[in-house]
Amino acid sequence: MSKRIGMEVAVAAAEAAALCRFDVAAVYPITPQSHIAEHLSDIVADGRIDAEFITVESEHSAMSCAMGAAATGARVVTATSSQGLMYMHEVLPIASAMRLPIVMAIANRAVSGPLNILNDHSDIMPQRDSGWISIFAENGQEVVDMMIQAFKIAEHRDVQLPVNVNIDGFQLTHMVEPMEMPDQAEVDKFLPPLVPYATLHPDRPVSMGTFAMNDVYTEVLKAKDQALINSKKVILQVWKEWEKLFGRKYAPIVGYKTEDAEILMLTMGSMGETAEIAVDELRARGVSVGLLKMKLWRPFPFDELRKAVRGTKTLIVMDRAVSFGGPGGPVAGEVRSALYDQRSRPAIVNEIIGLGGRDMMVEHFIDIVERATRTGEKKKKSAYEFYGVREA
Amino acid sequence: MIEIRWHGRGGQGAVTSVELLALAAIEEGKYAQGFPSFGPERRGAPVAAFNRVDDKQIKVRSGIYHPDVVIVLDEGLVGLVNVAEGLKPDGILIISTSKTRADVQKALSYKGRLGIVHGLAIARQELGVAIVNTTILGALIKATNVVKLESMVVPIENRFGRLAQKNLTAMKRAYNEVEIN
Amino acid sequence: MADAKKWPESWQEVNRGCVVFRPGSAGEYHTGSWRAQRPVWDNAKCIKCGLCYIVCPEGCISEGEDGFFSANLDYCKGCGICPHECWPRAIKMVEEG
């Protein structure tokens, strides 16, 4: 039976991985992921599961070791943040190209320049093109659930792709809060043993991590793109199964008070919970506003987004990262692209908030909605705005 | 919902207290958050840590700017840090100190409700160390009833093992000895 | 650059590249206020090996003219590494206040 416990979310993420009986953890510590790394190593050192913890000397090695281990058929977990993820960047597309079902917890943290250890989404956004499945947790419960779901999704024979679970650094990782922790029997029932597609084994030699000339590279990439696209079916299946077993519902985009909303906010990660309070307060004042919480980032939920915004006049996309010199926030850029061909689509407002750990309070969300009701899209000087930035 | 801010120095156990309180509240079936001030952790540096406790789900994830309760573990922080900043007008400040009420009010220029407990003396006598984090939990509970005193037993036992009993004794003494106006 | 800028700055005022033009300005941040304990040397035991000076992570221990060592209390954070490393046990940590 699941048990209601209080636990630091980072520790809970490691506990969830332990419930999945991982075989190998190859992790390098970095704030604010460090409690995940430390607890994974405690779990292995205490012999709670039969696993190896590889004390690598860098994140690039962490991912490389994870890939090597996964290539032998091991169930592998790793975790990182920010610069660590940037350091792994070089090998991420190779992990997905090799179809290795690695699960990685990312404690989202601002990317350097200048150095900042606090929470935003600038570490995960540059990894959009890497071919990984990407999901975003909103609270401690979702962290636990998504870590376990991730293994099942990644390892499904129709998927065989790596998955990253995005956990807001400090905002979630360092928070002690209540959650229902499934028990070992429940997880064993949910998650069957890993049956890899191909493994490196001296008795059955294969080559993995191969080379492709221009005569076949395109075809390989199309196959990978399709794999990502087709994985959505499995993700929805896994989420349906999870709801049946645990009563907790997951969807690519979850709406909050969206009925007849003229304005919709779109958030990813834990800021969604704070935004819900803003929706409650605005609705109480008679403002027709709702909230969309995007939980599935890759593969991008085109159908769900288009359906969710049908009929609304204004969509305010909250980004916690910037594509410098580009379309503003990465999420808004993709949302605009997803809606471009629609016959009717809302005006899009892009607010860039919560950079480098800047606090996002209920009143900020209220202010953003009120400003959006006052100015139409046509009057805006720019497609995006750094909310609350100090001007000279 | 009650919001609590703790002031201490790195290494004095403010973050531990915050965690213990959150666990006790969750044990009671309540909802709670316990979190440190986000940033690099440095032993000795002033730190703040935070709790929210409520009977219903806590959705807000921003920082706490207007706490209902402020707890000061190290009176040396008074003057260094504006410990009473943002404290709600009907809130309470609980401080571990050997000073008198009048001295504390003067030092803080604070006229609101005050909880005074001789944390260091109690901790030294019962625990043999100058760490007051578990002691002060007793004062907090007496002042606010945020959780039941008994709910602290399991979290403290899980955290402190054979030292749990001493910590519980210190906590109970603070519960009985704190002076609240 | 002007030596006293208003803080916090607007985005137009932030130095390009976040370059800090005032060298040694970190010295104005007296981290000694963080201290809960400070190191005290017993020079009768000190053998002037200089190990405390070497291991201090703050770099705030210096050698006096007499060859003995002391910490600059403006910066000493009281981490306790110097007594930990002092093998003649000439350094003791003493509580502040």
Q: Which of A285, A295, A313 is nearest to A256 (CA)?
A: A295
Q: Is the pLDDT of residue A378 over 90?
A: no
Q: Hey, what are B181's tokens?
A: 């106006």
pLDDT in tens, A219-264: 999 999 999 999 999 999 999 999 999 999 999 999 999 999 999 9
- What percentage of chain A has pLDDT greater than the value 70? 98
Q: Is A390 on the interface with C (CB under 8 A)?
A: yes
Query: Is position C71 within any domain?
Result: yes
Q: 314-343 in A: which are within 8 Å (CB) of C?
A: none
Average pLDDT over residues A306-312: 97
Q: Which pTM was predicted?
A: 0.92
- pLDDT grade, residue B173 (50/70/90)? very high
Domain map of chain B by residue range?
Answer: 2-180
d(CA A360, CA A351): 12
What three-state secondary structure class fits A32? coil
Please indicate if any CB of chain C lies within 8 Å of the CB of B12: yes
What's the rounded mean pLDDT across residues C36-48?
94
Chain mean pLDDT for chain A: 96
Third-level CATH fold of B2-180 = Pyruvate-ferredoxin Oxidoreductase; domain 3 (3.40.920)
pLDDT interval class at C1 (50, 70, 90): very low
- From residue A90, give the alpha-carbon distance in Å to each of A19, A30, A127: 30, 18, 10
CB-CB neighbors (< 8 A) of A256 in chain B: none
Which of A344, A64, A305, A98 lies closest to A197, judged by CA? A98
Cβ contact, residue pair C12, A389, below 8 Å:
no
B32 vs A: CB within 8 A: yes
CA distance C80 to chain B (A): 10
- B21 vs A: CB within 8 A: no
Question: What is the SS3 assignment for C70?
Answer: strand
Produce one character per residue of A190-201: b if its CB has 16 or more CB atoms within 10 Å, e if not: bbeebebeeebe
What does the alpha-carbon distance between residue A333 and residue A348 come to, in Å, rounded to a whole number? 10
Residue A188 clears pLDDT 60, i.e. is over it: yes
Mean pLDDT over C56-76 rounds to: 96
Work out the angle at residue A69's Cα, subtended by the Cα atoms of residues A65 and A71, and round it to the nearest 5 degrees.
Answer: 115
Question: What's the pLDDT tens digit per position in A104-131?
Answer: 999 999 999 999 999 999 999 999 999 9
Q: Which of A113, A114, A391 sits opposite C11 (nearest CB)?
A: A391
Do residues A83 and A41 lie in contact, with contact meaning Cβ atoms separated by under 8 Å?
no
The answer to whether B10 and B40 are in contact (CB under 8 A) is no
Residue whose token pair is 């840590």: B49
pLDDT at A96: 97
Do residues A54 and A109 touch, judged by C-beta distance below 8 A?
no
In one-letter notation, the amino acid at residue B64 is I
Q: Who wins on pLDDT, C4 or A236?
A: A236
Specify the pLDDT at position A230. 98
pLDDT at A379: 60
Q: Which residue of C has its CA nearest to B79?
A: C33
Whole-number pLDDT of residue C4: 59
Residue B152 touches partner A, C-beta closer than 8 Å: no
Of the pLDDT bands very low, low, confident and very high (cuts 50, 70, 90), residue C26 is: confident
The verdict on a CB contact (< 8 Å) between C10 and A390 is yes
Q: Determine the residue among A175, A179, A257 to mutate to test chain B binding: the one whose Cβ has the most chain B Cβ atoms within 10 Å.
A: A175
Sort out which chain C residues have CB atoms less than 8 A from B45's CB and list them: 31, 34, 77
| Alpha carbon of A385: minimum distance to chain C alpha carbons (Å) | 13
pLDDT, tens digit (0-9, with 9 covering 90-100), for B80-113: 788 999 999 999 999 999 998 888 888 888 889 9
C19 assigned to some structural domain? no
> Residue A350: its pLDDT value, please?
97
3-state secondary structure of B49: strand
Q: Is residue C33 part of a domain?
A: yes
The CATH number that applies at residue C48 is: 3.30.70.20
Are the C-beta atoms of residues B155 and B17 closer than 8 Å to each other? no
Q: What pLDDT is recorded for position A282?
A: 98
pLDDT band at B9 (very low <50, low <70, confident <90, very high): confident
Checking if the pLDDT of A353 tops 60, the result is yes
> Using CA atoms, how far apart are residues A43 and A40, in angstroms rounded to an integer?
5
pLDDT in tens, A16-43: 999 999 999 999 999 999 999 999 999 9
pLDDT the model gives residue C2: 46
Position B105 scores a pLDDT of 86
CA-based nearest distance B96→chain C, Å = 15
Q: Decide if C78 contacts C36 (C-beta within 8 A).
A: yes
Mean pLDDT of A287-297: 98
Domain count along chain C = 1
Which stretch of B100-114, B121-135, C52-66, C74-88 has the lowest confidence by average pLDDT?
B100-114
What residue in A sits closest to C8 (Cα-Cα)? Answer: A390
Phi/psi of residue A275, nearest 5 degrees: -65, -30
CA nearest to B36 within chain A: A174
CA distance B116 to A104: 48
Q: Which domains, and CATH codes, for chain A?
A: 3-246 (3.40.50.970), 253-386 (3.40.50.920)
Q: Does the beta-carbon distance from C79 to B43 stay under 8 Å?
A: yes
Does residue B178 have a pLDDT over 90? Answer: yes
- Residue A257: the pLDDT is 98
**Minimal Cα–Cα distance from B45 to chain C, Å?**
4
Tell whether C55 is covered by a domain.
yes
Q: Rounded to an integer, what is the distance from CA A77 to the centroid of its chain?
A: 15
A359 closest CB neighbour out of B22, B35, B63:
B63
pLDDT of B12-31, one tens digit each? 899 999 999 999 999 999 99
Q: Give the nearest partner residue to B32 out of A6, A118, A361, using CB atoms.
A: A6
Does residue B19 sit at the A interface (CB-CB below 8 Å)? yes
Residue C15 within a domain: no
pLDDT at B44: 67
Query: What pLDDT is recorded for position A181?
Result: 98
pLDDT digits (tens, 9 = 90+) for A51-61: 999 999 999 99
Question: What are the tokens at A310?
Answer: 């049908």
Domain of residue C73: give its range.
Answer: 29-95
Separation of alpha carbons A26 and A46, rounded Å: 17
